Amino acid sequence: MKILVTGGLGFIGSHTVVELQNVGFDVVIIDDLSNSSVEVIDGITTITNKKPLFEKLDLKIKSEVKDFFNRHNDIAGVIHFAASKAVGESVNDPLKYYENNINALIYVLQELTKLNKKNFIFSSSCTVYGQADELPITENAHVKPAESPYGNTKQIGEEIIRDTCRANGDVNAIALRYFNPIGAHPTAEIGELPVGVPQNLVPYITQTAIGIREKLSVFGGDYATRDGTCIRDYIHVVDLAKAHVVALQRLIGSKNDSNFEFFNLGTGTGSSVLEAIQSFEKVSGKKLKYQIEDRREGDVISAYAETSKANNILGWKTELTLDDAMASAWKWEQKIRNK
């Protein structure tokens, strides 16, 4: 079966392509390379011994999306990653996020509804919950006003998909609400490769450790948490990628209970920013230079998942630890800087 992965050369997308190919799917990737590199294809191919199809395409251009689906009308499922994803940047440039994350989704869904097999996996986020009233966060948690334009695009995205499924009974979709993906493939053939200054914690940690960044900024040290820093549920990207395959197989096998489902993907454990730093220092043997800064607009205080729904219904659970993720991220950072 042919599966389309949009944003398939990005961080989570590339790891998901690997897991799809590992279980025998044929993959075609769309990516505009705005926050990724075409060299990622080589890493995927090295790991799986199979080269995915790739087309450079801007999903914001409706005519290009339509042309692609006209040429690939045998697609059995779409996994949609393509989106801008940094909370801080979205606060500063909201229109970029609304254009990129909403328009592209609409254009892909419009073409999906014309296919024979209308299976859709959406890359959603725990940011849809905002600052949850109770922890851990269950799927029944109230979806509150988003703390950032990025989070709002994920809320709106889910609403668009839900409405599409309601209007088109043969469209089947699963939204996967992930918490904080980190790490790299254990082979160090693929990993997180941000363009410019990293917007996420772990690549900033590894770039600081290797000497590219002078120091790491920790945004906020006075939160009502055990050490004053934000708490997040850090999930290894390989565990996360495997969940996408399981969710896709659920739709293809018509195992879904309704035509729009959603699941939290996390470890179920919250770690503070300082604990994440300590984990990195332990596995790498490197001391990090960091500094507590003012709070960053758009950040929630604490977020970690209640995962029993995904564990029980999807039959999926995480297997890798925070230390595993930090070790793999450090191995990846060292490899790409030694090229």
Active site residues: 150
Contact call for residues 310 and 237 (beta carbons, < 8 A):
no
Beta pairing class for 26-31 and 271-272: unpaired
> What is the four-CA torsion angle of 332, 26, 46, 329, rounded to 10 degrees?
10
Which H or E run contains 304? none
Calculate helix-pair angle for 201-210, 273-284, nearest 10 degrees. 40
SS (H, E, C) 4-55: EEECCCCHHHHHHHHHHHHCCCEEEEEECCCCCCCCHHHHHHHHHCCCCEEE
| Cβ-contact 239, 232 below 8 angstroms | no
Q: In what order do the strands lie in the sheet with 53-56?
A: 53-56, 26-31, 2-6, 75-80, 119-125, 172-178, 260-265
Instruction: Name beta bridge partners: 27.
Output: 3
Measured over the CA atoms of residue 253, residue 254, residue 257 and residue 263, the dihedral's sign is: positive
Which residues on neighbouring strands pair with residue 178, listed in sequence order?
125, 265
Rama region for 305: left / alpha / beta (φ>0; ψ in -120 to 50; rest): beta
Do strands 119-125 and 75-80 pair parallel, antiparallel, or not at all (unpaired)? Answer: parallel
Neighbours of 240 (CB within 10 A): 27
